[in-house]
Amino acid sequence: MRRLSLFILAILGAPGFCWGTYNGPGGLPHGYDQSDVVILGKAERVESDPKYDDDSIVSNYLVSVEAVYKGVASESTIPCVDFLAHTSAGRNVPTDRVCVFFLKTAESERMSESDRQRLADRYLIHGVMRIEPEEVPAFETSIERIETYRQLTDDDAKRAFLLPFLKEEDLFVQNMMLQEIMQLRLPEARPYYEQKLLEAERESQTLWYLRQLHFLGDTTVADTLLARLHSPDAENRVDVMNTLYSLNERDPSIAPEIRKFIHDPDELVATNARTILLRLQQPDALELCLEMIQNSENSTARYNSIHHLNWGTRLDFTPEQLALIQSWTNDENESIARVAGFILEREAKKAAKLSQSE
């Protein structure tokens, strides 16, 4: 299944890094910061409880704990779940090797009430990092560096601590710290990324280095991305669109360029364009997404579209649109039916709250 997840950097800090691959929101330091528990362990797939989980979407695991790097995991084996395992946002949890697991608990902030109730006593898989046994010491060193860095409060001290990592020979440690360098937008890092851009061999690498240069103040990046939007490769078109949006999240000026792809022959590209327009709050974007769900025979395109409607809490549905969503609660695709129910439940609560305030 083609992956359409937004802002997922599949590699620690530099695309093409051949080991220690991280799958989760943001870079590895962000995943570490946002997780309640970080452990080293091996996962075993277990059957989902049909009372609570749709097994076509959710995957449940028992993870044997070998080491704890953050938080508390008192049991030797803990239950974990990936709510979106079989979608474009899934974590692709390996069961044939030891991994580092970045986990959230039901007490985590920014978790929806419905997810909190579904989670119960399980841990939510926020991110996963594949790791070989010989890489574990370097990972642990990286964690120590992060913890040391977190103790610094003075900007000059942070700069002095971070800049030597631009020349760090251990790539695992370097990639951890490059994320911190980017957090401070240190201009001294710009020559490093300009050289990396020249050395890039794949589109994913090019886009990642362009993103970093944008954050470091390179004003030519947007034009470079626009020139790359019309790639003959569908996945590249999606990746460029997502990168362009991520650098201009609240800038409607990119909408005309994105709009050119709403009828792309590849429905996943078209879906991506429509959901970006939705996030840019374009007036017709909601109808475009509804149209994709109603008419497409591509289950991934439909699923990605309806999930953006579920996440779009500021959306205002007309009665006709709600009636259409109501019809999807009987959709033969159980995932579509389930999410349609979530949307209707949320809209009903919104309407009740509005009624009470009048």
H-type helices in 184-260, by residue range? 190-199, 203-215, 221-228, 234-247, 255-259
Which of these, 145, 116, 150, 111, lies nearest to 33 by C-alpha position?
A: 150
Q: Is residue 244 part of a domain?
A: no
The band of 126, judged by pLDDT with boundaries at 50, 70 and 90, is confident
Q: Is residue 51 part of a domain?
A: yes
Q: Given a cut of 70, is residue 10 above it in pLDDT?
A: no
Mean pLDDT of the chain: 84
pLDDT at 11 over 70: no
pLDDT for residue 335: 92
pLDDT at 146 over 90: no
Cα separation values, 322 from 123, 315, 340, 346, Å:
34, 11, 9, 12
The pLDDT of residue 42: 94
In a domain, 79, yes or no: yes
Helical (H) or strand (E) element with 100: strand 98-104
Q: Return d(Cα 278, Cα 47) in angstroms, integer.
A: 36
Residue 266 within any structural domain of the chain: no
Q: Residue 65: inside a domain, yes or no?
A: yes
Mean pLDDT on 41-64:
80
| pLDDT-based confidence at residue 5 (cuts at 50, 70, 90) | very low
When divided into structural domains, the chain yields a total of 1
Q: What pLDDT does 263 receive?
A: 97
**Is 128 a member of any domain?**
yes
Q: What is the DSSP string of 154-169?
A: -HHHHHHHHGGGGG-S
28 against 237, higher pLDDT: 237
- What's the CATH code of the domain at 130? 2.40.50.120
Instruction: Considering only residues 298 and 10, tell me which one the structure prediction assigns the higher pLDDT.
Output: 298
- Does residue 119 lie within any of the structural domains? yes
Domain range holding 92? 22-140
With respect to residue 80, please indicate whether it lies within any of the assigned structural domains: yes
Whether pTM > 0.85 for this model: the answer is no
